Amino acid sequence: MSPVVISVLGVVVLVVLLALVVITRYKVAGPSEAFIVTGRRGKKSTDPTTGQVSVDNSGQKVVVGGGVFVVPFVQQKFTLDLSSRHIPIAVRGAVTLRGVKANLEGVAIVKVGGTDDSIRAAAQRFLQQQGGIVGFTQEVLSGALRSIVGRMSVEDIIRDRAAFAGQVAEEAEASLSGQGLVLDAFQIQDITTEGSYLEDLGRPEAARAKQEADIAEAVSRRAAEQARLKAEEEIAIAQRTFQLKQAEIKAETDEASARAAAAGPLAQAAREQDVLIEREKVAERQAALTDRELDTKVRKPADAARYQAEQEAEARRVALVKEAEADAERSRLTGEGEKAHRAALAAAVQIEGEAEAAAIGAKGAAEAEAMHKKADAFARYGDAAVLQMFVEVLPSVVAKASEPLSAIDKLTVISTDGASQLARTVTDNVAQGVELLSSTTGVDLAELLKGITAGKGTAVVPAPAAETTNGTTSGTTVNNGRVEVTD
């Protein structure tokens, strides 16, 4: 073998040996392990929080979750378990605030802190005897438990175990952290007392709980009974519904059977009804035809005749109206003629009146002339003329006085004076007429007559005969004082 080959093989073996050395001396920490490498020099380190620079003179290097090369013969590696430890805690005869001795059992979860300081502190105290963490933790927590129990009553511990455990953890935290340990959790599992304190303490609650349990059980039984009754009721309702449904189905089946049995007669009745309907239609058509024949043969001719009569009557009425209007127009025209005729008559009457007035005026003038002549004559003849005039008018006065009696058809006079009473009545009327004439004329006819008869002789004036206005002579009869005058 050549010297070159030997040299190459020597180098290769050396490299392999170096690689094996490196591989065997490079250590990687597990998830729950921390390596403490000793034998190195102090090293400056800076606190990332405060920025303070310090020099580690312990000669220890802490590696967590990483790898580290341990220099052979110079450095030494130690492994610290960082996993949690389940540590039971038991305290016997701890005196509470009220002097009751209590027994407490709990459990604590403890592990080594994750910082380099905690690991170094734990490594310095428990690296060679890591099982001592359990005993140390039990002693610390037992002391904290006794301390906290002495400030609390059993009722407070039982009522709020979490607060009690928190106070215990707070009490033991300082002692544990000084040893590089961290208390993750602490729970009180059981609390007992010496004697029957807890039993007596919980007896009212137990009785109340029992009472509530009995009530709850009764309520539950009642609810169960009600549920059972409700279920039975629902079952009964369901059975009734089922029976009603069966009855309904049976009724529908019977009805269908009856309908099927009556289908034949109903069909026959329907056919007969159709026949009757058709016959009714035929009768209606015949009645309509008869009605149209009556319209054609009777009603329409009658209507035509009535219409003709109405038209003729209307024509006559119109003719009469026209004739009346013509008469009215004719009367109107005649009235105009009558008006002219009456105007002519009025003019004629006026002319006639004027002529008559002229005649009366002439006659009055003539009579006035005559009266003047009579007055002259009376003046020349004196009382003789007056007497002559009086004698001439006296028969007329007596006739007027007896005129009421002449209008009587038959008169019966009942008096003791007989028929002379009638003559006296006429005489009284004449005397009253003379007095009326004297009062109206102012001529005292009685004195005039007395003067004439006393001074110038008596003139005999024949008495006028009684006569009626129609000139006939009346006769009188006397019978025992009863006078009857007949025309």
- Lowest mean pLDDT across 169-183, 269-283, 432-446: 432-446
Vertex 217 angle, CA 212 and 223, to 5°: 125
Q: What is the pLDDT of residue 420?
A: 67
- Rounded Cα distance between 375 and 382, Å, is 10
Provide the percentage of residues in the chain whose pLDDT is more than 90: 16
- Note the pLDDT tens digit of each residue in 73-91: 888 888 989 889 999 999 9
Identify the CA nearest to 35 among candidates 71, 1, 82, 74: 82
CA 200 to chain centre: 72
- Note the pLDDT tens digit of each residue in 278-299: 999 999 999 999 888 888 888 8
Higher model confidence: residue 471 or residue 300?
Answer: 300
List phi, psi (to 5°) of 444: -80, 95
- Rounded Cα distance between 422 and 369, Å, is 43
Confidence of residue 347 (pLDDT cuts 50, 70, 90): confident
Order of strands, sheet of 33-38, starting from the edge strand that comes earlier in the sequence: 60-64, 33-38, 76-81
Q: Return the exposure string of 88-117: e unless at least 16 CB atoms fall within 10 Å of the residue's CB, then b.
A: ebebeebebeeebbbebebebebbbbeebe
Q: What is the pLDDT of residue 411?
A: 63
Contacts of 77 by beta carbon, 8 Å cutoff, 6+ apart: 27, 35, 36, 37, 68, 70
Mean pLDDT of 64-75: 83
List phi, psi (to 5°) of 27: -115, 140
- Lowest mean pLDDT across 343-357, 360-374, 398-412, 469-483: 469-483
Mean pLDDT of 178-189: 88
Q: What is the pLDDT of residue 221?
A: 92
Q: What is the pLDDT of residue 157?
A: 86
- Note the pLDDT tens digit of each residue in 240-256: 999 999 999 999 999 99
- Rounded Cα distance between 38 and 21, Å, is 19
Mean pLDDT of 265-281: 90
Q: What is the pLDDT of residue 50?
A: 75
Confidence of residue 437 (pLDDT cuts 50, 70, 90): low
Residue 453, pLDDT > 80, answer no
Higher model confidence: residue 222 or residue 436?
Answer: 222
| Backbone torsion region of residue 362, taken as left when φ is above 0, otherwise alpha when ψ lies between -120 and 50, otherwise beta | alpha
Mean pLDDT for all residues in the chain? 81
Its sign, for the CA torsion 192, 195, 196, 198, is negative
Q: Cα dist. 29→8, 21, 66, 125 in Å?
A: 36, 18, 6, 20
Neighbouring-strand partners of residue 108: 87, 186
Confidence of residue 486 (pLDDT cuts 50, 70, 90): very low
Pairing mode of beta strands 475-479, 26-28? unpaired
- Rounded Cα distance between 430 and 157, Å, is 172
Domain 82-194: give its CATH superfamily.
Band 7 domain (3.30.479.30)
Q: What is the pLDDT of residue 417?
A: 63
Residue 479, pLDDT > 60, answer no
Confidence of residue 383 (pLDDT cuts 50, 70, 90): low
List phi, psi (to 5°) of 141: -70, -35
Identify the CA nearest to 437 among candidates 477, 400, 402, 411: 400
CA 324 to chain centre: 71
Q: What is the pLDDT of residue 455?
A: 54
Mean pLDDT of 56-82: 81
Residue 37, pLDDT > 90, answer no
- Rounded Cα distance between 380 and 12, Å, is 233
- Rounded Cα distance between 364 and 357, Å, is 10
**8 SS3 class:** helix
Q: What is the pLDDT of residue 418?
A: 61
**73 SS3 class:** coil
- Note the pLDDT tens digit of each residue in 302-346: 888 889 898 999 898 899 999 888 988 888 888 887 888 888 888
- Lowest mean pLDDT across 106-110, 375-379, 393-397, 416-420: 416-420
DSSP letter string over 106-118? EEEEEEE-SSHHH
Higher model confidence: residue 480 or residue 376?
Answer: 376
Residue 160, pLDDT > 90, answer no
Identify the CA nearest to 181 among candidates 276, 84, 62: 84
